[in-house]
Copies of this chain bind each other. A is one copy, B any other.
Amino acid sequence: MRASAGREKPADFPSLVPATSPRPAPVRVALLGCGHVGSAVADLLALRAPEIAIRTGMYFELVGVAVADLSRERPGATALDRALFTSDAKALVERDDVDVVVELIGGLDPARTLVEAALCKGKPVVTANKVLLAQAGAELSAIASAHGVDLLYEAAVGGAIPVVRPLRESLAGERVLRVTGILNGTTNYILTRMTDDAMDYADALAEAQHLGLAERDPSADVSGDDAAAKAAILAALAFGSDVLGTTVSREGITGIRALDVAHASRLGYVIKLLAVAELLDGGPDVSVRVHPAMVPAAHPLASVRGAFNAVFVEGEACGEIMLYGRGAGGAPTASAVLGDLIDAARNLRAGSHAPAPHRAKTTVRPPSELSAAFYISLDVLDRPGVLAAVAAAFGAHGVSIRAMEQEGVGREARLVFLTHSAREGDVRATLETLREIETVERVGTVLRVIGPGDGALGQAPTGTGA
């Protein structure tokens, strides 16, 4: 069943709407931004308000929509009264007849100023803005707490998937050990096509662009920047870390070749771009990072295909939990916004607010200090002695080899290695040495390998952190 924007009339639920039911006092909503998600939120509010009123006792009324360009056509927002539009977002936020603010502008500015202004006025804010949360989540949460109102952002990570609320509430008593997400639909689509249909990276990217799944400039997705912001949010939720999204260590998928994907498949793995937030050695050290990895085909994350997203949580008591669904798109993201909006309005009415995010003093350890098994592909000259030289380089840095395979001959010769679990710093040093070997033409793809021996998701912390 595909998501649809919900164009039907609320009269679909006639038996649920008593003709005489009084309309409850409205909750007046200001919408900042009216792109894909904003239009979908406006539509849902317009079409579902009567049904939501019956279910929740609250009638949502959109009282203003701030947009940058008043003249632009907005074919998405079919149910929107154009008279609601304004270009003065600040004035809209501060209007006395606005109870709740929904921020869907995206980016740091002016979103940050507007959200602060709303919170300082005692108005709850619902946002889907991952960049804002990843950069200023701690400060904004503190402002929200100080004013006793909600700052809710279920839609900022994983679109329609319930992620934020489960981590904050359902797992409030849990000692979370690791959270691993597939949180960028664009790169997951590209990797899925490379895996299922042996496409190469450029073709898969072009197809994703053609389908509207990738931007014309795809760099924010394929570089891991988008996933890095979400990793920072996950780290804050799971461990109370205040790591900034911009400082999260990241590797993208641009270097992954069709033959790496094929090789991973033969070994029983699929390549996925993972956003990881992990407690190290029982805390307070954490690792927060984004990188592609070889995930065992039987792992639940391996079955997350195409543009779908998922968050895999490992906790001490709960074991493994996976939350899966549509990570993007107007209607799915709007569904999450609406859930938050109902929560915020309910809390506003009750004079309460959602639990403030837990903040703790954590230290982010750099990936170089962590350990994992690695997949390393080398383009080499097919000459006697090359393997000996390469093996010596591994040995010199204490990286032990679990398996090696030569593919191709002559100019096409390639050596593919799987290492035992090794400290990433040692692996990087090995790569430096390998680059100096005359018969090594190129160090190709380097991927972490997730396997039973290395913790359920790769990067087991080393015993001796710096």
Do A355 and B56 have beta carbons less than 8 Å apart?
Answer: yes
Do B173 and A154 have beta carbons less than 8 Å apart?
Answer: no
Of the candidates A44, A174, A282, the one having the most CB atoms from chain B within 10 angstroms of its own CB is A174
> What separation, in Å, do the CA atoms of A321 and B339 have in the docked complex?
14
Chain B contacts for A258, CB-based, 8 A: none
Chain B contacts for A317, CB-based, 8 A: 3-6, 40, 44, 160, 331-332, 334-335, 338
Partner-binding segment picked from A200-208, A209-217, A340-348, A396-404: A340-348
Interface string of A1-37 (1 = CB under 8 A from B): 1111110100011011000000000000000000000
Using CB atoms, name the residue of chain B closest to A7.
B316
Chain B contacts for A55, CB-based, 8 A: 172, 240, 358
Partner of A12, one of B52, B282, B336: B282
Number of copies: 2
> What separation, in Å, do the CA atoms of A52 and B56 have in the docked complex?
31
Cβ-based interface call for A410 (8 A): no
Interface residues of A in 315-339 (CB under 8 A from B): 315-326, 329, 331-332, 334-336, 338-339
Do A318 and B332 have beta carbons less than 8 Å apart?
Answer: yes
- Given contacts A3-B315, A3-B316, A322-B324, whether A339 and B170 have CB atoms under 8 Å apart is yes
Using CB atoms, name the residue of chain B closest to A358.
B55
Cβ-based interface call for A300 (8 A): yes
Chain B contacts for A15, CB-based, 8 A: 283-284, 361
Partner of A284, one of B13, B44, B52, B335: B13
Do B341 and A173 have beta carbons less than 8 Å apart?
Answer: yes
Main secondary structure on A side of the interface with B: mixed
- Given contacts A160-B318, A338-B174, whether A455 and B1 have CB atoms under 8 Å apart is yes
Chain A interface extent, by class: 35 or more
Interface string of A169-211 (1 = CB under 8 A from B): 1111111011000000000000000000000000000000000
Chain B contacts for A336, CB-based, 8 A: 170, 318
> What separation, in Å, do the CA atoms of A54 and B319 have in the docked complex?
23
Partner of A323, one of B5, B160, B324, B343: B324
Using CB atoms, name the residue of chain B closest to A304.
B300
Partner of A161, one of B56, B321, B361: B321
> What separation, in Å, do the CA atoms of A326 and B320 have in the docked complex?
7
Cβ-based interface call for A254 (8 A): no
CB distance from A333 to the nearest CB of B (A): 9
Do B314 and A1 have beta carbons less than 8 Å apart?
Answer: yes
CB distance from A383 to the nearest CB of B (A): 44
Cβ-based interface call for A166 (8 A): yes
Chain B contacts for A121, CB-based, 8 A: none
Cβ-based interface call for A78 (8 A): no
Interface string of A413-431 (1 = CB under 8 A from B): 0000000000000000000
Do A320 and B1 have beta carbons less than 8 Å apart?
Answer: yes
Chain B contacts for A361, CB-based, 8 A: 15-16
Do A339 and B3 have beta carbons less than 8 Å apart?
Answer: no
Cβ-based interface call for A303 (8 A): yes
Known A-B contacts: A169-B342, A174-B338. Give 20 more (CB < 8 A). Answer: A1-B456, A6-B316, A13-B283, A15-B284, A16-B361, A56-B358, A160-B318, A161-B321, A162-B171, A169-B343, A171-B335, A171-B339, A173-B335, A174-B335, A315-B335, A317-B338, A318-B326, A319-B331, A350-B350, A352-B352
A-B CB proximity, top 6 nearest = A173-B338, A3-B319, A321-B325, A162-B170, A162-B166, A160-B318
